[in-house]
């Protein structure tokens, strides 16, 4: 049983090539990751030497044999280098080779080899190095910087043209003199020059802004950076000092720095959003398999104690679903059921839930105008967002306090503080009387996984989820807080009429009218590159009485359709290598237009136009959701045939 689990684990891994070699280096096993990276099918590579993955130069140098020999001698061999795919293209790989030993004799029985494609990472690192070199050349070419060196004691040792222009000293007037000459008398009295050098030593670098003095006695506002210079042994031999005159450009430079910081943060959050969305997608697949299997097993159990354990497992998995939805909301890849929402009614209906969640020490007030417009939102996601904000407010008021939830109609024009496009919005505000946040905490509050709560008391995804949802809806999340003065959180949501009309027409299981009668037994083609999810989908469909044909890729599904004319329904995953689910559905629509299709995915990120009119089943799903989706798909076919 354990061996079978290990086999299933290895077979489900697609991000790593995991395979085994015999003592001579002949391939004897091959997993899906190896097929994806290297392009060989099992029958094409099993029985062949693993040396064919190496470049001609590496084979000529004997690298494959040396890798096996070192693995056998040292117990492990690890390296990075170019490898070759079946089609001849090269990719940069990280490879680990471990010997498989006979526990009795210690004789090498073979080798386990794990390879990962690091081509994109290497290209990113090279691009980063090139960018850093360009930046260095740019800085050296700018003439409005004073760049010079001082020795360990602060004596100027060299002087560039920028320094001469900014500070007014010629090289022979300043080289050999102490750099404290540039400081104001007040700063010299406080020992600022010495403190600055000490801070550079302790922190590795120091950066400050302040008033400095030119040769003629005039003061200018300067930005300075000091970095210690070390020799090969790590001993400090001096300091590099860079000064820029910001007197005339102080305001402009401050705005530019803010823009650069905003761009950096945006890029960082975007990159983390991509990572989070991918992780959440994989969790969705795992939860789909877990929930489906638990649901089927539960029907076969009669023992109450075992039922309790299974129910606990289902509740735990359901909490995983909630966490995954938060991650997808942060990454803006959560499928949102956009519809008009009466925000004041939603908050009013949450009254009992909010009071129970916040406890008796928190007084809740609500306020909204009678003519409040309908907001374009997903009511379930919006309810979760309000609850998250309320719980955060409760944690900021441990001794009790007042929470005020209000809403209002707002019109946004050009240059508005929200940065939103001009139009009408509903502003939902959550205001507490808690401890508030300092500027640093406020700046990080919406970053994913940032939390001020203790270990195990928060995921740090609450505010980032609300932020992601608001952005995905075309709105904005704003925070205002000061220590001791509470916190105000504003969600700006587009008014329903314009926002929903502008959105793409999409179909989902929930919005599609379902026939009352159950569907007849069908022949269903299920497509998913994840073996666990495919097995789970098959089990759920077979339990509903359907016959299932499995395919692990879009190409395999097309082959099945070409050879089997009895398929009644196609259910496919979206995120698959080589051919996505949306691409598969598009081709099926051209070649078999009468065949009903269902896209089963937890991703909202589909190609432009791919979601229009497409019947979707959101992962993870219960058997009842799957049954409704099948019925809805067959009802569509019946409607189309009648027309």
Is residue 454 in a domain? yes
Q: At what angle do helices 379-395 and 304-331 cross, to 10 degrees?
A: 90
Contact partners, residue 226, CB within 8 Å, separation at least 6: 196, 197, 200, 205, 206, 207, 239, 240, 241, 242
User: Predicted confidence band at 457 (pLDDT cuts at 50, 70, 90)?
Assistant: very low
Question: Is residue 369 domain-shared with residue 394, that is, in the same domain?
Answer: yes
Adjacency order of strands within the sheet including 77-84? 17-21, 108-117, 90-101, 77-84
Q: Decide: 631 and 518 in contact? Cβ < 8 Å.
A: yes
335 vs 577 pLDDT, higher one: 577
Please, where are the H alpha helices in 99-235?
119-141, 161-167, 171-174, 185-189, 192-203
Whether 338 shows a pLDDT value over 80: the answer reads no
Is residue 158 in a domain? yes
Mean predicted confidence (pLDDT) in 497-507: 44
Let me know how long the chain is.
643
Question: Is residue 179 domain-shared with residue 265, that is, in the same domain?
Answer: no
Q: Decide: 550 and 556 in contact? Cβ < 8 Å.
A: no
User: Which of 82, 117, 152 is the last residue in one of the domains?
Assistant: 117
- Give me the CATH number covering residue 523: 3.40.50.2300
Question: Is residue 296 domain-shared with residue 369, that is, in the same domain?
Answer: no
| Residue 272 pLDDT | 52
Question: Is residue 468 domain-shared with residue 350, that is, in the same domain?
Answer: yes
Is residue 123 in a domain? no
**Cα(637)–Cα(631) distance, rounded to whole angstroms?**
10
Question: Is residue 446 domain-shared with residue 464, that is, in the same domain?
Answer: yes
List C-alpha distances in Å: 198 to 179, 202, 250, 642.
Answer: 14, 6, 27, 84
Question: Is residue 59 domain-shared with residue 181, that is, in the same domain?
Answer: no
Question: Is residue 294 domain-shared with residue 423, that is, in the same domain?
Answer: no
Is residue 127 in a domain? no
Question: Is residue 345 domain-shared with residue 492, that is, in the same domain?
Answer: yes
Total number of domains in the chain: 5
**Cα(352)–Cα(364) distance, rounded to whole angstroms?**
10
Task: Please tell me the least confidently modeled range out of 75-89, 182-196, 307-321, 417-431.
Answer: 307-321
E strand or H helix at 320:
helix 304-331
Question: Is residue 188 domain-shared with residue 214, that is, in the same domain?
Answer: yes
Whether 271 shows a pLDDT value over 70: the answer reads no
User: Which of 331, 349, 367 is the last residue in one of the domains?
Assistant: 331
The values of phi and psi at residue 419, to 5°, are 75, 10
Mean pLDDT rounded to a whole number for the chain: 81
Question: Would you call 385 exposed, middle or buried from its count of C-beta atoms within 10 A (0-12, 13-18, 19+)?
Answer: buried
Whether 265 shows a pLDDT value over 80: the answer reads no
| Residue 506 pLDDT | 38
| Residue 516 pLDDT | 43
Q: Decide: 266 and 189 in contact? Cβ < 8 Å.
A: no
105 vs 85 pLDDT, higher one: 85
Question: Is residue 497 domain-shared with residue 349, that is, in the same domain?
Answer: yes
**Cα(216)–Cα(32) distance, rounded to whole angstroms?**
74
pLDDT digits (tens, 9 = 90+) for 93-123: 999 999 998 888 889 999 999 999 888 888 8
Residue 318 DSSP SS3: helix
| Residue 384 pLDDT | 78
- Give me the CATH number covering residue 352: 3.30.565.10
Task: Please tell me the least confidently modeled range out of 5-14, 248-257, 376-385, 631-640.
Answer: 5-14
Whether 499 shows a pLDDT value over 80: the answer reads no
Question: Is residue 189 domain-shared with residue 78, that is, in the same domain?
Answer: no
User: Which of 248, 273, 308 is the last residue in one of the domains?
Assistant: 248
Q: Decide: 556 and 570 in contact? Cβ < 8 Å.
A: no
Whether 517 shows a pLDDT value over 60: the answer reads no
Task: Please tell me the least confidently modeled range out of 22-31, 55-64, 532-541.
Answer: 532-541
The values of phi and psi at residue 463, to 5°, are -65, -35
Task: Please tell me the least confidently modeled range out of 31-35, 99-103, 451-455, 553-557.
Answer: 451-455
Most confident of 203-207, 304-308, 312-316, 496-500: 203-207
Positive or negative: CA dihedral 123, 126, 132, 137:
negative
Whether 455 shows a pLDDT value over 50: the answer reads no
Question: Is residue 323 domain-shared with residue 228, that is, in the same domain?
Answer: no
| Residue 640 pLDDT | 53
517 vs 310 pLDDT, higher one: 310
467 vs 26 pLDDT, higher one: 26
Whether 273 shows a pLDDT value over 70: the answer reads no
Is residue 132 in a domain? no
DSSP string of 588-643, one letter each residue:
HHHH-TTS-EEEEES-----TTTTBT-EEEESS--HHHHHHHHHHHHHHHHHHHH-
List C-alpha distances in Å: 205 to 91, 182, 240.
Answer: 38, 19, 10
User: Predicted confidence band at 191 (pLDDT cuts at 50, 70, 90)?
Assistant: very high
Query: 169 lies in which domain range?
Result: 142-248
Whether 619 shows a pLDDT value over 60: the answer reads yes
Whether 538 shows a pLDDT value over 80: the answer reads yes
| Residue 634 pLDDT | 87
415 vs 559 pLDDT, higher one: 559
Whether 324 shows a pLDDT value over 80: the answer reads no
- Give me the CATH number covering residue 189: 3.30.450.20
User: Predicted confidence band at 466 (pLDDT cuts at 50, 70, 90)?
Assistant: confident
User: Predicted confidence band at 262 (pLDDT cuts at 50, 70, 90)?
Assistant: low
Long-range own/partner contacts, residues 508-512 (CB < 8 A, 24 or more apart):
508/335, 508/337, 508/615, 508/616, 508/618, 509/615, 509/616, 509/617, 509/618, 509/625, 509/628, 509/629, 509/632, 510/337, 511/337, 512/615, 512/632, 512/635, 512/636
Nearest by Cα to 540 from 614, 598, 604: 598
């Amino acid at each position: 049983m354990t061996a079978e689990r290990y086999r299933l684990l290895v077979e489900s891994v697609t991000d790593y090539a995991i395979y085994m070699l015999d003592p001579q280096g002949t391939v004897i096993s091959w997993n899906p990751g190896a097929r994806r990276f290297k392009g060989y099918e099992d029958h094409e590579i099993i029985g062949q030497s693993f040396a064919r993955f190496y470049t001609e130069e590496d084979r000529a140098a004997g690298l494959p044999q040396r890798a096996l020999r070192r693995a056998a001698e040292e117990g492990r061999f690890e390296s990075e280098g170019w490898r070759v795919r079946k089609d001849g293209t090269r990719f940069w790989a990280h490879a680990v080779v471990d010997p498989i030993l006979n526990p009795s004799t210690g004789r090498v029985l073979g080798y386990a080899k794990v390879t990962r494609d690091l081509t994109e990472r290497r290209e990113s690192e090279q691009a980063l190095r090139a960018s850093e070199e360009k930046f260095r050349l740019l800085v050296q070419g700018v003439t409005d910087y004073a760049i010079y060196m001082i020795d360990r004691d602060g004596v100027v040792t060299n002087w560039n043209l920028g320094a001469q222009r900014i500070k007014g000293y010629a090289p022979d007037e300043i080289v050999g003199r102490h750099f404290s000459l540039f400081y104001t008398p007040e700063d010299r009295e406080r020992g600022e020059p010495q403190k600055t050098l000490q801070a550079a030593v302790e922190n590795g670098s120091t950066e400050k802004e302040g008033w400095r003095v030119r040769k003629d006695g005039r003061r200018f506002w300067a930005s300075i950076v000091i970095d210690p210079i070390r020799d090969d042994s790590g001993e400090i031999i001096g300091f590099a000092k860079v000064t820029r005159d910001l007197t005339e450009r102080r305001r402009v430079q401050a705005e530019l720095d803010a823009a650069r910081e905003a761009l950096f943060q945006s890029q960082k959050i975007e990159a983390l959003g991509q990572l989070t969305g991918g992780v959440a997608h994989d969790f969705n697949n795992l939860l789909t398999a877990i929930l489906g299997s638990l649901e089927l097993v539960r029907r076969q159990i009669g023992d109450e104690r075992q039922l309790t354990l299974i129910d606990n497992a289902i509740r735990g998995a359901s909490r995983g679903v909630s966490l995954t939805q938060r991650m997808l909301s942060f990454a803006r890849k959560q499928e949102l059921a956009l519809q008009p929402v009466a925000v004041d009614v939603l908050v009013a209906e949450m009254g009992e839930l909010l009071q129970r969640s916040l406890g008796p020490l928190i007084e809740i007030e609500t306020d909204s105008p009678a003519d409040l417009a309908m907001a374009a939102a997903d009511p379930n996601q919006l309810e979760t967002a309000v609850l998250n904000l309320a719980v955060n407010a409760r944690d900021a008021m441990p001794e009790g306090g007042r929470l005020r939830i209000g809403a209002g109609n707002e019109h946004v024009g050009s240059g508005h503080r929200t940065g939103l496009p001009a139009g009408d919005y509903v502003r939902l505000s959550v205001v507490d009387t808690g401890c508030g946040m300092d500027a640093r905490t406020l700046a990080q509050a919406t970053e994913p996984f940032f939390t001020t709560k203790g270990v195990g008391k928060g995921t740090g995804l609450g505010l980032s989820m609300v932020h992601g949802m608001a952005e995905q809806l075309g709105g904005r999340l704003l925070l205002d807080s000061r220590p001791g003065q509470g916190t105000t959180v504003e969600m700006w949501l587009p008014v329903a009429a314009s926002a929903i009309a502008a959105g793409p027409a999409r179909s989902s299981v929930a919005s599609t009218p379902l026939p009352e009668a159950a569907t007849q037994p069908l022949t269903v083609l299920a497509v998913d590159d994840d073996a666990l999810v495919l097995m789970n989908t098959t089990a759920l469909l077979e339990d509903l009485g359907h016959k299932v044909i499995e395919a692990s890729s879009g190409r395999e599904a097309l082959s099945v359709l070409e050879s089997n004319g009895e398929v009644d329904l196609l259910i496919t995953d979206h995120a698959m290598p080589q051919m996505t689910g949306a691409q598969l559905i598009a081709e099926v629509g051209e070649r078999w237009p009468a065949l009903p299709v269902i896209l089963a995915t937890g991703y909202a990120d589909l190609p432009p136009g791919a979601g229009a009119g497409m019947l979707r089943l959101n992962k993870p799903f219960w058997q009842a959701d799957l049954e409704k989706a099948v019925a809805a798909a067959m009802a569509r076919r019946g409607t189309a045939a009648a027309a």
